[in-house]
Structure 1
């Protein structure tokens, strides 16, 4: 392509962001391009472009509208999340791979309500960016909120086992705001449960077992060897022998290198540089610095991994969203939460009164038959002898007295049905076989009486 001004759209792309749908099967691109401007309330201010079945771009008319959309919470279409990042001319390798996600951490041990401990707990899910915690303010909720930079390729962890002092363990629970749908088997955001690889493999094993009539044991899927992490320190590396491979490898909790590549390169240059210092002195200085930083999680994050420190905010409800949990127990907990439903207390009182009101005097059911069934339906409508209800109570000298409901005297259904069948049969008989007089029924009887008179 000619490298000319009219052939590129770089200037227009500066006011745009790129996006990726995580579940293209449930997120049709045509509907996404048309629906999202209306959802953002930016009709006429933004234009969408479908780049593929998975990726898209939205170009805005102003910087204000662009930032307004990017600063919102997790963006979803058709209840599945999307990844949005501002356009860059030379995107990095992990472009469109992370989303900002607010996490609610529950069941925190009482001895770990500190900013440093909460940052470490957030790093179990992703890279902690914001901690909504103020040690000087009261905490009225049973959770602490942190915002993390979450890798969409990872599963949404619901809990983790935490080792604390004294050899004890506790389970930390995580809830995610504005994440509506996910795979309920592997907890990932890229597919539904029916097409989960784990579910499909289980179905295939069950089908194979049925084909073999459960006589031959089902062969298990071949164990795929887990690829080893790449070796960071080779034999020719100046740092070989200075650190263990575990010190410079990947962190199992976050999946990021324990020591950034830039920091390792600086150490190599320092060892090879001619500064007039002995090599042994340089090695001791590097080891001491790394050992001191590894003892402090905050220093390890800032010095060794070159990550910015998390922002601590006293606004505990900053960017707060909903937690979509389809568990019945969790839904019941939300229903009775006075913060979510402030009118629940009064409504619950009315509901409880109607369901099972208290009575001061036990009521004995002495009636029988249909009268018993009718009276039992209305006897619990009042728990006070001084309250009058129309239709069920009548006034008396000592308050209100229960009034018996009027019983409708009617033959049973079987008797009525047999009588109607007999009447139809007699009406269909020939006229000569019918008797006159008092046994004649219907209009013929009335006609005979009129003729005699």
Structure 2
């Protein structure tokens, strides 16, 4: 008995099989770090963050890919307007559904970056584009030389390759031989690997870190390592002739175009132009090709437009458009990597030992006895407070505001304060009125029977009339206060007759 081949299922062109109409109002997305992101919780939480609730539904397509189907086109535009979104501190990329997506689908995302410390002698649009171009395709620049610029940074929107490192600085070589460092911040981008600077894993799971640890490991263990994509440098090429002309030789097969320099379709047309059997005609075409590449080598904007087919950026004088916040988890990463003691992990300070003369000894030990019990109680209470605040972090926590974790720092890019200037304190913290009340005075006979002397009356019979009169005046004053119903009455002292 032989094993027969399985018969495939064939779908017809019936409209009932096709979901193209429904997918026309949908977004396809991918989690960048699915090991640290919960797919089901993300599909439930994101509609709450977008505040569209019943007008969208999420579908899990695989462990890392998903789909959101919208009822209104305006909701899709609102979500796509902010570009990059995050969940559980890690990013996710979304784009409009395509029936036949390209090979780099969901591999790039629109991100706003901030350039700090640009040299004042070269603060021009061409310099800003040259610094931003290695990060990604420049789409918008918020800098107009003819208008005031009120921020200490320049915002640039780039289409960034998510498989490439996300670096925090860029070295800039100046024409006079010096160099300077331009700091780069990424809005709405949270966690990343602080070893290879990629957005797809933590440092503990970085393939490069594991490769260093498995230097002497067996071939089986090395095969388990996760491969990462090579770094593609989007630098301005000053020698296009030496980079492209050898690839257009007749002996080189097609399909070997460097994507960082030239688009595949452009390189294919260049190869067709150079494909000539007549030696004299080929020599003339080679000369023309070299002259064109030499002109492009001196113009970075022309390389972006003509070779990579990228649109020119939009220049805008409007600042902080769709601004997002900048997060910094480098301090939190350092705390997680170096927990020296259990007390340090619990945020419990270690106490130095002292001798009989109350002198500090040169040793660090964790506190014991009642001191340790008190510190553990404080740590437990802070942990309970953090658990209470956890749902709010989840609901608020995608791409916008997230309260900082212990040890984490982030700089706020834009914060809208109340125009009225009112304080944000809760109503419970307001000052309350007095809690005492004035009770009616008991009858005199009851007080006498109980052995309690009424106010204003003493046992001294010699001064009984004077003291009784003082008590009557006090009771009259209290009655007058009740009749005024909260109004303050100032009485002038009686004049002597």
Asked whether the two chains share a fold, i.e. TM above 0.5, the reply is yes
Partner of 1:294: 297
Partner of 1:129: 139
Q: Is the 8 A contact 1:101 1:176 kept in 2?
A: yes
In 1, the alpha carbon distance for the partners of 2:80 and 2:416 equals 30
In 2, the alpha carbon distance for the partners of 1:138 and 1:62 equals 39
Q: What's the secondary structure of 1:19's corresponding residue? A: strand
In 2, the alpha carbon distance for the partners of 1:271 and 1:182 equals 44
Partner of 1:236: 250
Q: 1:141 and 1:328, CA in 2 relative to 1: closer, same or farther beyond 3 A?
A: farther
Partner of 1:403: none
TM-score, normalised via structure 1 length? 0.61
Which range is displaced more, 46-55 or 287-296? 287-296
Structure with more relative contact order (C-alpha pairs < 8 Å, separation 6 or more):
2
In 2, the alpha carbon distance for the partners of 1:313 and 1:297 equals 21
In 2, the alpha carbon distance for the partners of 1:197 and 1:257 equals 24
Partner of 1:145: 155
Q: Superposition pairs for residues 50-449 of structure 1, below 5 Å? A: 50-201=60-211, 233=247, 235-236=249-250, 250=258, 256-271=259-274, 279-326=282-329, 334=411
RMSD over equivalenced CA pairs, Å? 3.9
In 1, the alpha carbon distance for the partners of 2:117 and 2:211 equals 35
Q: 1:183 and 1:261, CA in 2 relative to 1: closer, same or farther beyond 3 A?
A: closer
Structure 1 unaligned residues grouped into runs of 5+? 209-221, 241-247, 251-255, 344-453
Query: How far is the alpha carbon of 1:270 from its aligned partner?
Result: 3.9
- The total of aligned residue pairs comes to 314
Q: Is the 8 A contact 2:194 2:330 kept in 1?
A: no
Q: What's the secondary structure of 2:190's corresponding residue? A: coil
Q: What's the secondary structure of 2:54's corresponding residue? A: coil
Q: Is the 8 A contact 1:239 1:268 kept in 2?
A: no
Q: 1:279 and 1:86, CA in 2 relative to 1: closer, same or farther beyond 3 A?
A: same
In 2, the alpha carbon distance for the partners of 1:192 and 1:332 equals 18
Partner of 1:15: 25
Query: How far is the alpha carbon of 1:286 from its aligned partner?
Result: 2.5
Q: What's the secondary structure of 1:129's corresponding residue? A: strand
In 2, the alpha carbon distance for the partners of 1:197 and 1:327 equals 19
Query: Deviations for 1:22-69, whole angstroms, at most 9, x for unmatched residues?
Result: 111221111111111111111111111100110000111121111111
In 1, the alpha carbon distance for the partners of 2:184 and 2:313 equals 19
Query: Deviations for 1:315-344, whole angstroms, at most 9, x for unmatched residues?
Result: 121121111124579988959x9x86989x
Determine which of 23, 40, 43 is the counterpart of 1:33: 43
In 2, the alpha carbon distance for the partners of 1:182 and 1:261 equals 30
Q: Is the 8 A contact 1:73 1:319 kept in 2?
A: no
In 1, the alpha carbon distance for the partners of 2:214 and 2:165 equals 23
In 2, the alpha carbon distance for the partners of 1:43 and 1:172 equals 42
Q: Is the 8 A contact 2:32 2:92 kept in 1?
A: yes
Which range is displaced more, 108-117 or 48-57? 108-117
Q: Is the 8 A contact 2:329 2:410 kept in 1?
A: no
Q: What's the secondary structure of 1:64's corresponding residue? A: helix
Q: Is the 8 A contact 1:130 1:311 kept in 2?
A: yes
Q: What's the secondary structure of 2:261's corresponding residue? A: coil
In 2, the alpha carbon distance for the partners of 1:144 and 1:310 equals 14
In 2, the alpha carbon distance for the partners of 1:42 and 1:331 equals 31
Structure 2 unaligned residues grouped into runs of 5+? 1-10, 219-224, 233-242, 333-406, 419-497
Q: Is the 8 A contact 2:142 2:156 kept in 1?
A: yes
Q: What's the secondary structure of 2:311's corresponding residue? A: coil
Q: What's the secondary structure of 1:5's corresponding residue? A: coil
Q: What's the secondary structure of 1:300's corresponding residue? A: helix
